Each structure stands twice: as C-alpha cells, then as structure tokens.
C-alpha cells in the first residue's frame, strides 16, 4: 500500500498512525494503531472518529493485515470485528463491504490494496466536491452554526460541513462567522472544531448547545450546516446527538438547515430514520466530563440513572438541503429518488 | 428577627448561613454570609441561588444589618448593592424594594424585621400554593421534563416546578418519572436537581440538554415544567439559559409546556421579554467546567471567543400555562390582564 496522509491519519508504508482525538486540542499525540485490536479500540473510544474517516481507517487496517499475510479466514473475521466497532455510521460498513466484495470476487492482495487506496483518495475527492457544493450556499457575511466536528479531523480530506465553510472563507467570503455548538457530552465542538477554526483562521464563537436558539433569535445565524453518519432513502439522517435539537430550532426561526455528507453516508438499505440503529454509550459520559490528558470531573450523583444516545435522527421535513458530493438535493429531489441518483 | 430555616438557608438568631450550592452534591458545607460582602459574593457566584431564594436571602441580610445598627444611609447603599448582585431575577429587586418602602415610610427596625420575616414565610406559602396548582396538571404515569433547579434549594419553601412534581408524587402519583436537563454551563440540573430527586425518592433520569427532543419524540415526555426568574406582562419570561430551546422542542412535539413562579417573579414594569436584561457571565464557564470541591477541566482552546448568556427569554406563544401561586393562567388569561389580577 502506498503512503497515505491526512490531517489526523497516516500510513507510513509500515505503520498506521492516528492523531489521538481524545487528547486534542491540548496534546498532539500520534498513536500506532497498526494492530487490529488497537484500531478497534481507537474507533470505539473515538481516538479516531468522523463517519468518513473511520471507514478509511478501518479499510487501511484490514488491507495492511492482508499485506502482512494473515489468512483469508482471519481477514474475514477481522472485517466483521471492524464493521461492528461503531453501529451508527454507515461509511464504516460501506468501506468494509467494498473490501469483502473484493475478497469474494478476486482475492488478491493487489486488488485489496487498490481498493483501500481508492477508498482513501476517493474520500479526499468526495470532500472537495461537497465543499464546492456547500460553499456556494454560503454568502459573505453569513453567521453559520455547526455541531460536532466535520472537518479535516473527521475525514481524509477537507471535511464535509467544515470543508464547505473553509472553502467559502478561503475563496474570499472573509466576513463569515462560525458559531460552534460545544456538543455535549463528548465536546467535539468545544475541543476539536474550536481548535480547527483557530488553525484555519476562521472567525468563530463557542457556545453551549442550549444557546443556539438565542443566537438564532438575535439574528446572528443565517445558516446551519452539519455532517451526518447515515442518510436514509427518505432523507432522514443520523448525526451526533444534538443535531435534531438544532434542526427543530432552525425550523422555528426559519433558518436554512443543511446536512453534508458523501454518497458513502447514504444507506440504500434504510427506508427511513426508524431503521437506523442508535448507539447508546456509557452513562459516565453524561454524569461528568472525562477529557484524556486534561482531567475529569464527575458533578452528578455517582449512580444517577442517565440516557446517553450518541446520535439522533433528524427527520427530512426539517432539512432544507442535502449537500452531497454530486449535487445539493432538496426535498423534491429526495422524493424523486435523488439519493439513488447520487450513488456511483 | 426570629430564627428562619429552609433546606439551604438559615438565620439562627445571630448568623445567616447558606448551604453552599456550588459544592453540592459532593459536599454539604454551611457558609456564614452574615457580612453583606459575603452575601453579595454568594449571590454573584451562585452559592445561594434560585430567583425566590436570593430575594429572601438578600432581605434577611439587609434587615440583619439594620438590627446590628448600621446607619440609614449605609443601609440604603447596601440595599442598592444587594439589588444589583444579579440583574435578571426580579424577585431580588422586589424584595429589596419592599424593604426600601418600609425604610421610607416608617423607618423602624421592628417594621423592617416584620417585612423580612413576612418575605420569608410568604415564600414558603407561595411555594405551597404553586405546588398545589401545578400538581393538578400532572397525571399519574407522566414523564416530566425539567430544567435547572427549582426546588427546596431555590426557594424558602418546597420550590416552584419541583414543588409541583414533589406534591404530585407525595399525594399518590407514584408512577411519574422526572427527566432532568443537566443545564449547561453551570449544571444545576446534573448537580442539584439530580441530588434533590434522589433525596425525595422520585424516579428520575439525567440527560444532556440536547437530548430532550429525542425523549419527546420517543414518547417519554408528557409535560415540561420549568421555573422562572422574571415574567413580563405579555407572558414572555426569563429563565435559566436553555429554557427557550426546550420550549421550542416542546412546541414542535405538541407537548404542554408550563412555567411556574410566585407573583414576586412577575414584573409589572416589563411589557415584554425584550425589556428583561440578560446577565452575560464569564467565558470560562463555557470553555470548561469548574465545580468547586470536585475539580475543573478546561477542554476548549484557552482564548476561544464565547457567548455565555446566563438566561434566555421564552416568548409567551410557546407557553401552555403560567402556574402562579394564585392560579394557573392560560394565554387568554394573560391577554385579559391575568397577571395583574394575580398581584396581591
């Protein structure tokens, strides 16, 4: 496999390295996750995260093991284990399924290597196209609200919704301002997007998730753009918990709400959001914060009962536009099979 | 002044003591705030909090100084300083204004003492009446979502919205379940309401604020009940940041949304929510968490720009009912001057 490199993911010809995202922005630590057990742990614990990137990372991990000569049987078992590391994002499953198809049709290391390299470079290209389609929706002077983290840390390329914001800014729309939901409980907005916006030099302001409607009411927000982990055929989509909350607030204030993702996020087997499994994560994430390398605080009673869905489903009726790599779809497009038409 | 005692506030005949709410639920520390400077600091830093209770606490502080013999001029200056300790809750201003009126009309220590004692015992009675009016709205089996903390820690009595929930439960509606918004950034829900529900033995579940709409969609929530810091004459009201967000979500799911507060929370000088000043608090509260006696974590970049409004305004159109001590008002009542009719 050739060398691969993105903002938070590297294959150096021998080792697979990830920038441990649980330690950002305080520490930049590259972690060796060449061993499958390490990769699976890294995906489960969000050291590597972002629906597109975990698909890429899992594919490279699997093919590296093929290169190292593990048996076809072990390879298929590993494919299963990687595929199940996180249940909501469909890109992970899509990437593994593409490799399984190669294994079944033409079990040659070179064919697997070609597919892994293709998945990596395709993600870069898909991001670039999403950015181009999304940037057109942004006007100079817009306040743009976003949730979680959808940039260069979450993909192999420039990102999805952050990619669009970045391209808009870099192509001359210098008077935009990004409002960042901190994204409880795991704070990907406060930790990662705030850091990424500063690195890119794009003006930004961090808020708690429950403050978004205030900014909308005060006129600071002209667009909402979020990423996604799975899009169903009726346009419903799963994304980081809090997205549904934000979509309702945008609707109430008549603010356009866009979701951005590559075709690999579309699940042709999901008729609607009701078919998307939602990962429920451990309660301690809600009882306090546990930020690796920084510290932890548990503020609530030790055994208090909690709910902790990691994702939620936003119904299509709340979405203004679906920003895919091929084009931007509206509700009429979705009803006319527009998502299927975006598949390669 | 006679001895006064509530869940988190005491006057023992000499000293004014508060249960430091920044240390709950991990530590139960009673703090001597007899000195006015200590009381003002305690109000500003939320060691004593809850719109009704800070009115009571400030009144007792002022009258204790009168008992100790400070001059009328110093007393009036102290009244001003106490009145300005927090800008959004109107109960604080209302309590101080009642004492100023006594000072102007009949400057006698005994008259001031009578008024402070009246403000204290009146709050207990107002809570009891709110609880009675609110409990009637709750049906056995209801899931009830609440925000921030509005119980015995926030008032001299049983509380406002938590008082209603408590009375419903204790009067036999044992199959209710309380869903608690953690209430970022200062986590009054996760710290205080979770603790108070456990103390009262009422079944409860803690969530992050952005998860409330998921529970609504899944059918777990039949009512939303919150407290308030100021009600304007058109029914708009200010409450802890995140309330507006919750009201929008309740509206979208057609779930009844109630706000509970005593008549001392009604501001006859505010025509609408636009007239309510909103306190903007320090940025570090959003950049991380700082829980006294437990720990602190700053997860976001050190100098990231933030917004941190401590309160927000919920427009009357999102409110199903205003639960006052006198009665429950609906929108038609509000339009017919119902709030004025609830004033003594």
DSSP per-residue letters across B85-124? SSSS-HHHHHHHHHHHHHHHH---HHHHHHHHHHHHHHHH
Q: What is the pLDDT of residue A294?
A: 79
Which residues of A fall within a CB distance of 8 Å from B204? Answer: 304-305
Burial B177-186 (b: 16+ CB within 10 A, else e): bbbbbbbbbb
Instruction: For residue B43, give how far its alpha carbon lies from the nearest alpha carbon of chain A (Å).
Output: 21
Q: How confident is the model at residue A89 (pLDDT cuts 50, 70, 90)?
A: confident
Out of A229, A236, A312, A333, the active site residue is A229
Tell me if chain A has a CB within 8 Å of the CB of B25: yes
- Of A25-29, A82-86, A224-228, A265-269, least confident by mean pLDDT is A25-29
Tell me if chain A has a CB within 8 Å of the CB of B304: yes
Q: State the angle between helix axes of B51-67 and B36-44 in degrees (0 to 180), rounded to the nearest 10.
A: 170
Q: What is the pLDDT of residue B78?
A: 98
Q: How confident is the model at residue A26 (pLDDT cuts 50, 70, 90)?
A: confident
Helices (H) and strands (E) in chain A, counts: 13, 16
Q: What is the pLDDT of residue A115?
A: 97
Q: How confident is the model at residue A113 (pLDDT cuts 50, 70, 90)?
A: very high
Which B-chain residues 216-235 have CB contacts (< 8 A) with chain A?
217
Mutate to test the interface with B, among A210, A217, A220, A302 (most CBs of B within 10 A): A210
Question: What's the pTM value of the predicted model, to 2 decimals?
Answer: 0.95
pLDDT, mean of residues A264-279: 96
Q: Is the peptide bond before B25 cis (omega within 30 degrees of 0)?
A: yes
Residues B183, B185, B188, B191, CA torsion sign:
positive
As a whole number of angstroms, the distance between CA A49 and CA A42 comes to 8
Question: Is position A12 annotated as part of the catalytic site?
Answer: no
Task: Inspect the interface and report whether the beta carbons of A295 and B294 lie closer than 8 Å.
Answer: no
Task: Inspect the interface and report whether the beta carbons of B296 and A301 lie closer than 8 Å.
Answer: no
Residue count (chain B)? 344
Indicate the residue of A190, A205, A305 with minimum beta-carbon distance to B299: A190
Instruction: For residue A332, give how far its alpha carbon lies from the nearest alpha carbon of chain B (Å).
Output: 23
CB atoms within 10 A of CB B104: 10
Mutate to test the interface with A, among B191, B194, B208 (most CBs of A within 10 A): B208
Q: What is the pLDDT of residue B22?
A: 92
Flag residues of chain B having pLDDT under 50. none
């Amino acid at each position: 496999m050739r060398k691969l490199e993105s903002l938070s993911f590297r294959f150096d010809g021998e080792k697979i390295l990830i920038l441990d995202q649980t330690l950002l922005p305080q520490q930049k630590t590259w972690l060796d996750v060449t061993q499958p057990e390490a990769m699976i742990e890294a995906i489960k614990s969000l050291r590597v995260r972002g629906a597109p990137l975990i698909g890429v990372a899992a594919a490279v991990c699997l093919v590296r093991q093929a290169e190292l000569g593990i048996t076809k049987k072990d390879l298929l078992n590993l494919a299963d284990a990687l595929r199940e590391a996180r249940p909501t994002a469909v890109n992970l499953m899509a990437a593994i399924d593409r490799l399984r198809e190669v294994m079944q049709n033409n079990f040659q290391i070179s064919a697997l290597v070609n597919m892994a390299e293709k998945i990596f470079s395709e993600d870069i290209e898909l991001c670039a196209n999403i950015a181009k389609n999304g940037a057109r929706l942004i006007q100079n002077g817009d306040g743009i609200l976003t949730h979680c983290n959808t940039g260069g840390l979450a993909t192999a390329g420039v990102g999805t919704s952050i990619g669009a914001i970045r391209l808009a800014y870099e192509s001359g729309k210098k008077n935009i301002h990004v409002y960042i939901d901190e994204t409880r409980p795991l704070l990907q907005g406060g930790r990662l997007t705030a850091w990424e916006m500063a690195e890119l030099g794009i003006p930004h302001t961090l808020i708690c998730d429950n403050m978004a409607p205030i900014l909308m009411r005060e006129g600071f927000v002209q667009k909402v753009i979020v990423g996604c982990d799975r899009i169903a055929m009726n346009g419903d989509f799963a994304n980081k918990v809090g997205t549904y909350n934000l979509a309702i607030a945008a609707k109430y204030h008549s603010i356009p709400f866009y979701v951005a993702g590559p075709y690999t996020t579309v699940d042709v087997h999901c008729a609607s959001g009701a078919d998307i499994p939602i990962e429920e994560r451990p309660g301690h994430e809600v009882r306090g914060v546990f930020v690796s390398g920084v510290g932890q605080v548990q503020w609530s009673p030790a055994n208090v009962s909690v709910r902790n869905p990691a994702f939620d489903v936003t119904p299509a009726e709340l979405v203004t536009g679906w920003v895919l790599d091929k084009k931007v779809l509206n509700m009429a497009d979705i009803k006319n099979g527009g998502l299927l038409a975006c598949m390669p």
